[in-house]
Amino acid sequence: MKITKVYTKTGDKGLTSLVGGVRISKSDVRLDAYGAIDELNSFIGLLQVYVSDTKVTETLTRIQSNLFVVGAHLATDQNVTPLYDSAKLSSNEIVFIEKEIDTMLSELPEKLGFVLPGGGHAGAMAHVCRSVCRRAERCIVGLSSNSIVGDEIIQYVNRLSDYFFVLAKKLNIIDNKAEKIWSKPCK
């Protein structure tokens, strides 16, 4: 598909269209939710620049594709517009992420304590993805308090943040970068 025009000028007064044509304010919580998903997707693209493991990059591309589905789901006000099939996330994708997490965990040495974000470039970027994912999850949960959001959407985004945490650990091991463990005792 050739893009012939990027700007429409329809948002110049602070409104945008949802799937189905409903116009809402750009400050609406719905836009925060799918905007955070879009931001996460962009950071995943940046993360891939630093990842040399082909299996990981394939998984990240699959996640990026799924985030387009999540975004379409969130951009649909189901009280007004029926959800298109292209905006429905299969629960198999949650299972896939859980299996990826379990596989990575089985390969990692056990370390106790809270991990400070960082390490190598790839590990640090995975931590950025984790924290952006957590924010997206908070926005989605906020949206779900007064709008229809599929349970699978919240579950998937929740699992993704866990995935990025474990991925950061794995990438730091691959890159031979030590993790920093938070050492201040809780009292």
Write the CATH number of the domain with boundaries 22-178. 1.20.1200.10
* Residue 144 C-beta-side C-alpha neighbours within 13 Å: 14
Q: What is the pLDDT of residue 40?
A: 98
What is the reported pLDDT for 98? Answer: 98
**pLDDT confidence of residue 186:** 63
CA pair distance 53, 55, nearest whole angstrom: 6
Domain ranges within the chain, ordered by starting residue: 22-178
| pLDDT at site 123 | 96
Contact yes or no for 73/83 (Cβ under 8 A): yes
**Bridge partners of residue 1, in order along the sequence:** none
pLDDT (0 to 100) of residue 113:
66
Do 76 and 20 meet the contact criterion of CB atoms below 8 Å apart? Answer: yes
3-state secondary structure of 139: helix
pLDDT of the chain, 187 residues: tens digit per residue: 677 777 777 666 776 777 887 886 676 788 999 999 999 999 999 999 999 999 999 999 999 999 999 999 999 999 999 999 999 999 999 999 999 999 999 998 877 667 878 999 999 999 999 999 999 999 999 999 999 999 999 999 999 999 999 999 999 999 888 888 778 766 6
